[in-house]
Structure 1
Amino acid sequence: MKKIFYERVGETLFVDVLENGLTVYYLPKADYNRTFGLFTTKFGSLDTTFTPVGKLETKTFPEGIAHFLEHKLFEKKEGDVMYKFGALGAQTNAFTSFSRTSYLFSTQENSYPCVELLLDFVQEPYFTAENVTKEQGIIQQEIQMYQDESDWRLFAGLLSRMYPNSPLAADIAGTPATIDAITAEDLYENYETFYQPKNMNLFLTGPFDVEKMSNFVRENQAKKDFVNSEVIKRETVKASEPISGETLALEVAMPKFALGLRGEDKLPENPVELLKYKLSMSLYLDLLFAPTSQLYEKLYQSGLIDDSFETSFEFDERFHFVALSGDTENPEKLSEVLQEALKSYKIESDFSEEHLDLLKRDTLGDYFSSLNSLEYIANQFSSALYDKVSFFELPEILSKLTLTEISDNAEKFIQEMKVVEFTILPK
């Protein structure tokens, strides 16, 4: 087991790679009274086309299957696992993203039984035709509920137009039709391919003894047999040309506008450079559009944006894009101003060393505040970005990041990006 001390943040992390390939992170927190566990597989909504374990040919599965599988793992022959966690005094949940599925618990008591239950229920699937049919109705209702949420429809609409004819264009939960097509056999094929220990990681943090906890996890895993692991052959994200300028009419009081910038530039392969790239793009957006910028103040005072305006840089191994969105009475004018600022950022007064120093201090302040949240730390270690570079290295990398590096990374992105506009108009 490897022990790493991060002086800047005062944290000691233990990393253990078990014989079956599972990577386990232990972050002891002696001053806390709660233990938090997160068990993650590198399998999300993008993984619909791949070569199933033991097979030779590539196969495409229905959209939404990763999320469906997440739901079904909680149901066992003897009942719902959530009740078992409740009996131990713990809370549990799970979530699916584009590239990850994570299962978690949080508890103030019975930490060892909770760890055992987390490992066992995720590693012991139980799918039948009957319980699949039952779940289909539940998830289809869940999908329908989102159709009335205008902010969700704005983001989903933007994605579907930035990445047409790709898994990114589909809802993570799928559609009623694709959910109806999922079978128990499909679930087992997906499970056996992606839920192998080499494709997973476990993060545990709390007031436990590391040596005792690591022995406990090792003993649990040593009792189990797994399908022989293979290199997973996934399809890359292949999307058609973006579709821009479309609108959708919904019951909203004011138009909702979204501007998407699909990244086409080649991402760095070095993990540290990759983290620098992500930080650069986030700071690039903040320099131009954060509430600390003059441009934000100008847009706000003119009525082109309100408190709903937000920017984000979404990043994964297989895609990256910028999204800017908000409520506005004049979508056309807002789009024009935003695009002009994005391309002529070098002459903007907000793009300065002084502003960067201010944003760095704000970012570091938020970062150190986030270290009080066990759940937040665990989620960072489950992400794709921190597989090879630690989340605890972020302050050091951020503090050394220069305005020139931010400009260089932004320039690469801008030169290759594809622009998409999507608007929701009042009926």
Structure 2
Amino acid sequence: MQSAVKHYYNINKILITKIGGWPTQNNFIKILLPTIITTVLFSQAFFEFVQLTRTWRSITQDCECLIVLLVLIIGGTKLFTIILSNKNIERLLSLIDYHWRIFTHSMEIQIMHDYAIRGRKITISYIFIIYTLMCFYLLIPVTPQLLNIIKPLNKSRPYKYLFDVDYGIDKEIYYYPILIYSYLTTVMNISILVVVDTSYMMFVQHACSLFAAIGHRLENITLDLNSKKNNQLINKDDLTDYIQYDKDDDIYHELVLVLWKHQLSIEYVCFLDSSFTMYSFKLIFLTIIITSFLGVQILSLLNHNKEEMIRYIAMCIGAFVHLFVLNYPGQRIIDYSTDIFHKAYNMLWYKMSRRSTQLLSILLHRCFVPCTLTAGKIYVLSMTNYASMVQACMSYFTAFSSFN
């Protein structure tokens, strides 16, 4: 597809192809893989819902089914975000490749290269952390069998299950098929989370590289002005005005390029925001509800089952990490787009020609309002609002606890 995308984002490409979301994949594969994944997730969600309707007593007693059901809904939401927004994903990838072709200055290329490599490291780190945590979670059902080998008792320890659901069959006789099915569901759900989150962070990382490259060009213009000041002190003949004019002309054309590239960067961020805004809104809402239920579950297990309580504490930490992953990229966009304003303001604008300062004023005016990523076009993703979401989780947790 695109040369820059293939070179720098090959890991993200491999991940997206595993769920059938890469734009250039075969259409049959793009239908087959999501269908298989959706079937597995939906079937587990169906069993959880049936279990919930059969045993409904109170929120505190049925938190586990609610939590698993909502987690599966989040997985489905992430999957359909990639599948249904396939044209938007293709457009974003095309824009990335286009940016690599027009940011041609050596330092711009170096900055974008550094940010792309950093994005690859973030992707690998995120994959490692999430799958490591998943492996520990998947060990929970087999701990009795492992303990029977390491430290046997007079009788076998009871079986443990990843999901406490009635599948309509004898759970002890079909223990291992049920366990494999539970593992398959969990791995698919976590894999979707990894694919979409890393893709989202990759797109945001590229936007940050664009703003960083533009900021560097602005700083270079300032350095050129300093060198011109020295030349003006030395040259006192008639050529001085001609030389100064040429340099002002160069600065003007450089600012025109900067404004054009800045506008392209803004358009990219706006399109990125429109592509993921409803996705972010749904996930924030569901994650807040899940975190509240997890708090209720932890409280109910506080004096009864410490082992299960630790499991839900780990899940709660994972939910807060997920909220962080949704909000932190938005904060980075705000920081990098605002940084353009400071770098433009710190230039030696009083040494420029009038038409150059007019261009600079346009840039300052546009940068005065930072670029943002939103959830549903009503909620700005930032670290300040992340703290507000944590407080909201605690409020909902208190409210749900009162329904006991």
Same fold (TM over 0.5): no
Q: Greater Rg, structure 1 or structure 2?
A: 2
Relative to its length, the structure with more helix (as a share) is 2
Relative to its length, the structure with more strand (as a share) is 1
Please report the TM-score for the alignment, with normalisation by the length of structure 1: 0.23
Please report the TM-score for the alignment, with normalisation by the length of structure 2: 0.24
